[in-house]
Amino acid sequence: MGITLPLLILAIPLFMFLLLGIAGVKMSHKLAGWLGCLGMGTTLVLAYTVALTYYFCPEFTAETGERIQTIVFNQTWLAFTQNLVISLGFLLDPISALMLIVITTISFLVHLYSLGYMEGEKGFQRYYAFLSLFSFSMLGLVVATNIFQMYIFWELVGASSYLLIGFYYTKHSAVAASKKAFIVTRFADLGFLIGILVLSYYSQTFDFLKLTTDSQWVLASTQGATFMGASVLTWALVLIFTGGMGKSAMMPLHIWLPDAMEGPTPVSALIHAATMVVAGVFLVARMFPVYLLEESATMIVAVVGAVTAFYAAMVACTQIDIKRVLAFSTISQIAFMMVSLGVASNGNGDVCHHGLGYMASMFHMFTHAMFKALLFLGAGALIHAVHSNDYTAMGGLSRYMPVTRWTFLIGCLAIAGIPPFSGFFSKDEILSAAYAWSPFMGVWMTIVAAMTAFYMFRLYFLIFRWDEPDYGHHTPHDPPLPMMIPLVFLAAVSCVAGFIPFGHFVTWNRMPYDIHLDPWIACSSVAVAICAICLAAYMYRTKNPLPEKMKNAMPVLWDWCHHRFYWDELYMFITHKIIFNGVCRPLAWFDRHIIDGTMDSFAAVTNKLSRVIAPLQSGQVQMYVFVYIIGALLLGGITVLCLI
Amino acid sequence: MFENILIYFVVIPLVMLGLLALCRDIKQIRAVAVVGSLGLIALSVVTLVQYLGMRAAGVEDPMLFVDSWTWFAPLNIHLAVGVDGISIAMLLLSSIIVFAGSFASWTIKEPKAFFLWLILLSVGVFGFFISIDMFTMFMFYEVALIPMYLLIGVWGSGNKNYSAMKLTLMLMGGSAFLMMGLIGIYYHSAPEGGQLTWNLLEIVKNASIPHGWQSFLFPMTFVGFGVLGAMFPFHTWSPDGHASAPTAVSMLHAGVLMKLGGYGCFRVAIYTMPQAAHELSWIFLILTGISVVYGAFCACVKTDLKYINAYSSVSHCGLVLFAILMLNETAMTGAIMQMLSHGLMTALFFALIGMIYGRTHTREITQMGGMMQIMPYLSVCYVIAGMASLGLPGLSGFVAEMTIFVGSFQAGMTDYLAGHGSLRLVFTIIACCSIVITAVYILRVVGKLLFGPVHDEHHRTLTDATWWERLSTVTLIICVAAIGCFPNFFNNLINFTFKPAIFSVLGMN
């Protein structure tokens, strides 16, 4: 493959960012918006060309049927030492090609959607500039050829996320949310950085291909080195995973994602549902052969995922803000992907169940991107219509917004795992992989899947059925065309995406793999999902006191769920009370009073001393004579004493 | 004498001084300042090109353009000049900051005297970076310090007399240590019976400082220069000094003068006394490691913009000294990059703070807010400076910090695995934590100062940047981005000859 197309995929969004960022102020909203769409549209076409060429052109498939990992270009950017070199390059393999498709599709749709959603907003050009920056960074992240390139773009997506969350910068809550998102992920990145440093010290390379193709050698290079009872490799992998936990909002670093909903809704769809938040999953998938080497590392991935999935699903059942419900559902679904990666390893350095978990995870990443973006964009349409984020301001909307309603319903069915919608297929494979790893994990994840179906349909019924509030003169209506097209398109994709023979495209060893549904698991998961939907329908289809009763029956549980188990308060306590008041303030005091005080007192002592000595030079001759005589007597006395 | 290109780094500012003395109105003063500083930039670029050309032609000497003229024969004092990649990087940095600083003080009162002192200061700075004779180096160092007192005392703001006095006395105190160290080195600069010399290259070649003396002289020189590099606990001149200094002086001081400290620590202390550096680096490693996090933590609670930035400088300059002490090629390269990066971005910060202060007449972040709506240009620049400071890839801070961390980690792990203790490793990880704390204080300021609703309705009438302010900031931003986007150029420039020199002098790796 030539270098032109891949290079353009990265260059066009970057150019659009610079163009819109520098010259945008002078442009009209319309021009800036269409330029942004045009740029992203071109990128979309190029990315599809590259990805489809990769999947279908025989030159990228070896005789054995294995898809070849190809480095299209790799340019040295910064050489630390002879071996440790950061390059900027373009790695084409099944997962990066997959992500190229996902990112450009969603990004283009969001560009289009925003033409309607952001119409007339102040800073429209800036918004498009940031979207382009984000797209550039995210594309650079997925095609990274080495772990440091990934880290670079990892930071860049973090920064563009910061800028977009804080888009409405006059709002206190938006500023606080963007700050929180950046700092929490920065904290996680610290772990990532140290992990990279540890891993690269032993392996003496940043290169993904070197690390993953011959991973036994990585194991050998770290052999015998331990730190605090765990092997160095485990430490490195867990630290790197910390970075992934931050970006993918795994417990306990999830607190930034719900707040990030302060950003414009299309941004939530793009960054906080479909692309950036799955970067953590992508990272683990990219390093998967290395993770396979360490049982404890994959174990941690699976356990963190399982706990997070359950936690987020519980919280999602009690939220009022519809975007927060979707945010927690995103956390929960990403946790599904994490679990799936974790259970793909059998703990003996080999894959479990032919690596089904890996494939399922990537499949779910793909389908989730589509249906979650659909749900977010649908939520955007609702918010656009009623000017509120809370479901209490909605109700009975199915009458006014039919298109939104049907597309939203498709999204809900997909996420709930009802066949034939896409979520069913991917989730089912995750459950199969989980059962194969351990029955407990399988049951646990099935329960979470049921909860997913419940809270999504709770949301659906509360928005579209329930009781209608007084809309006054502004009856809500379906959104304009630029917002409608993405909704319909994503709904269509969510209907059919499940039938893609995904195993032929993306597997852990890049060999084709045939998916077959396990009827027992499929039936049971569909059954529980349907039960959960029925329960949701029973409770929320029409206005009734049942939810209130439930809430009063379990006040403590409801309270904890509603307040997200007080994680935010805990972090507030740690950062404000302990670090700010307990460390920063005393240090500043110490600086002012002890260190500065010492320096000042040197000066003061010198001053005092000179004041004391100064009167000796009084100018009175009698005094001088007196001192002279005393001195002479003393000297004389000493001389006499010496002579004796 | 005048066929050596380096001498013009001192000649141009001296000519500027003469011309300034003749100037009659502000326009002429500005013209002299701008033309002169453009000349300095051009000169450093020419030097850079010639230097790279000679290196490409295969010249292997540790220093190029070396020349020496006797000044005072009985004490072997020469005006000896010579540069390598590091000095050239510093010369580039200084000339760019003098240029940006001239624009930042476009409307200063009593411009003639101000620019006279400012240019005298830059004579010292340029002279310091081109010298390889320790005596002239020290002399230029002092030349750079004295104008500081007047510039702060006369043109400063706030508690300026206290700050000026404190800064000068503390730095002079450092010089006292330094002078003892330098004289000590001089008396051991040649083997028994040989010709004593102040010339660094010859001292390194002779390598005749006895081990016992090294352990005394190394701390002397390191502390002497370290005071200027704002090493804990000798950093307290920096916050007060910066807070009181006028804009251009803060820029030059934080951007260039503090670099003299780091440069001197490397060029004199470590270069000439490698054994002592090996043995005693741990003491200073602890102190500088503390500087890194301590400065960052203190910056978190300050509410005065200049104080925040001054503490952030303590943290970033601490990282420079910290990396130098790692005695590892990569980390040292990172240290020089950090000097460049910090010099540029902190100058940008101080320039912006000066511009904002000039409009609002307050530097308290609690009394400002929503500047993005009032002065969008300055605010965007502030965000870019902040992003550079917290290490966003594509801007200079990232590459410098990463080079330092990778290098330090390699050094620390090697030490740890060889059974030499885990001090370096532990302090490397502590230093890494600064990337989070930096993010905290930068975003705190950005959030309070620039974003949010407008705090004071009177501020709504304020204007955005003028053309000279734009020029000053754009220059700095372009440089910050250039380092961030093409780090390998600077990397190669710095360690082109640095590598063999380090191998032979320090005998490490």
- Tell me the per-residue pLDDT of B26-51, one tens digit each, with 9 for 90 and over: 888 899 999 999 999 999 999 999 99
* Residues B98 and B252 sit within 8 Å (Cβ to Cβ): yes
Per-residue pLDDT band for A447 (boundaries 50, 70, 90) equals very high
B contact residues 482-501, partner A, Cβ 8 Å cutoff = 487-488, 491
Q: Cα dihedral sign for B9, B14, B20, B22?
A: negative
Tell me the C-alpha distance between B226 and B257, whole Å.
12
B505 has a pLDDT exceeding 60: no
- Chain A residues in contact with B391 (beta carbon < 8 A): 155
Q: How many CB pairs under 8 A join A and B?
A: 113
- What integer pLDDT is reported at residue A403 of this predicted model? 87
Q: Report CB contact under 8 Å: A81, B329.
A: yes
* Residues A192 and A238 sit within 8 Å (Cβ to Cβ): no
Tell me the shortest Cα–Cα distance from B338 to chain A, in angstroms.
14
- What integer pLDDT is reported at residue A123 of this predicted model? 85
Greatest distance between any 2 Cα atoms in chain B: 76
Token pair of B349 as six digits:
């910060």
- What integer pLDDT is reported at residue B502 of this predicted model? 59
- Tell me the per-residue pLDDT of A191-220, one tens digit each, with 9 for 90 and over: 999 999 988 888 888 888 888 887 777 777
Number of domains in chain B: 1
- Chain B residues in contact with A193 (beta carbon < 8 A): 405, 432, 435
Buried-state track A541-558, b at ≥16 Cβ within 10 A, e below 16: eeeeeeeeeeeeeeeeee
Residues β-bridged to residue B335: none
Tell me the shortest Cα–Cα distance from A201 to chain B, in angstroms.
6
- What integer pLDDT is reported at residue A224 of this predicted model? 66
Query: Which residue of A lies nearest to B438 if distances are taken between CA atoms?
Result: A183
- Tell me the per-residue pLDDT of B161-177, one tens digit each, with 9 for 90 and over: 889 988 898 889 899 99
- Tell me the per-residue pLDDT of A406-431, one tens digit each, with 9 for 90 and over: 999 999 999 998 888 988 988 888 99
* Residues B383 and B454 sit within 8 Å (Cβ to Cβ): no
- Chain B residues in contact with A177 (beta carbon < 8 A): none
Q: Decide the pairing of beta strands A230-231 and A226-227.
A: antiparallel
Tell me the C-alpha distance between B131 and A196, whole Å.
40
Angle at A163 between CA B450 and CA A276, to 5 degrees: 160
Tokens 């974003």 sit on residue:
B451
ipTM of the complex: 0.92
> Among the listed ranges A118-132, A472-486, B352-366, which one has the minimum average pLDDT value?
A472-486
- Tell me the per-residue pLDDT of B74-130, one tens digit each, with 9 for 90 and over: 888 889 999 988 899 999 999 999 999 888 888 888 888 889 999 999 999 999 999
In what helix (H) or strand (E) does residue B71 lie, and over which residues does it extend? strand B64-72
- Tell me the per-residue pLDDT of A141-170, one tens digit each, with 9 for 90 and over: 999 999 999 999 999 999 999 999 989 988
Per-residue pLDDT band for A365 (boundaries 50, 70, 90) equals very high
> B380 CB near a chain A CB, below 8 Å?
no
Per-residue pLDDT band for B499 (boundaries 50, 70, 90) equals low
- What integer pLDDT is reported at residue B501 of this predicted model? 59
- Tell me the per-residue pLDDT of B465-496, one tens digit each, with 9 for 90 and over: 888 889 889 999 999 999 999 998 888 888 77
In what helix (H) or strand (E) does residue B203 lie, and over which residues does it extend? helix B200-206
* Residues A195 and A222 sit within 8 Å (Cβ to Cβ): no
In what helix (H) or strand (E) does residue A87 lie, and over which residues does it extend? strand A85-92
Query: Which residue of B lies nearest to A176 if distances are taken between CA atoms?
Result: B447
In what helix (H) or strand (E) does residue B12 lie, and over which residues does it extend? helix B8-22
Tell me the C-alpha distance between B399 and A148, whole Å.
11
Average confidence score pLDDT of chain B: 88
Token pair of A464 as six digits:
């579209």
B507 has a pLDDT exceeding 70: no
Instruction: Tell me which residue in B429, B439, B491 faces A194 most closely, judged by beta carbons.
Output: B429
Q: Report CB contact under 8 Å: A186, B429.
A: no
B504 has a pLDDT exceeding 70: no
Average confidence score pLDDT of chain A: 88
Instruction: Tell me which residue in A152, A156, A583 faces B297 most closely, judged by beta carbons.
Output: A583
Query: Which residue of B lies nearest to A583 if distances are taken between CA atoms?
Result: B297
B508 has a pLDDT exceeding 70: no
- What integer pLDDT is reported at residue A13 of this predicted model? 94
Cα atoms found within 13 Å of the Cα of residue B85, Cβ hemisphere only: 25
Tell me the shortest Cα–Cα distance from A79 to chain B, in angstroms.
7
B509 has a pLDDT exceeding 60: no
CA distances from B223 to A192, B216, B217, B229 (A): 35, 11, 10, 9
B241 has a pLDDT exceeding 70: yes
> A220 CB near a chain B CB, below 8 Å?
no
The type of residue at B414 is T
The SS3 assignment for B199 reads strand
First and final CA of chain A: distance in angstroms? 108
Range of the domain at B323: 5-508
Per-residue pLDDT band for B503 (boundaries 50, 70, 90) equals low
* Residues A101 and A51 sit within 8 Å (Cβ to Cβ): yes
> B444 CB near a chain A CB, below 8 Å?
yes
Residues 6+ apart with CB under 8 A from A186: A158, A246, B390, B435, B436, B439
Q: Residue A539: which of A378, A318, A332, A375 has the closest Cα?
A: A318
Q: Report CB contact under 8 Å: A170, B451.
A: yes
Query: Which residue of B lies nearest to A80 if distances are taken between CA atoms?
Result: B330
A3 has a pLDDT exceeding 80: yes
- Tell me the per-residue pLDDT of B204-237, one tens digit each, with 9 for 90 and over: 888 788 888 888 999 999 999 999 888 888 888 8
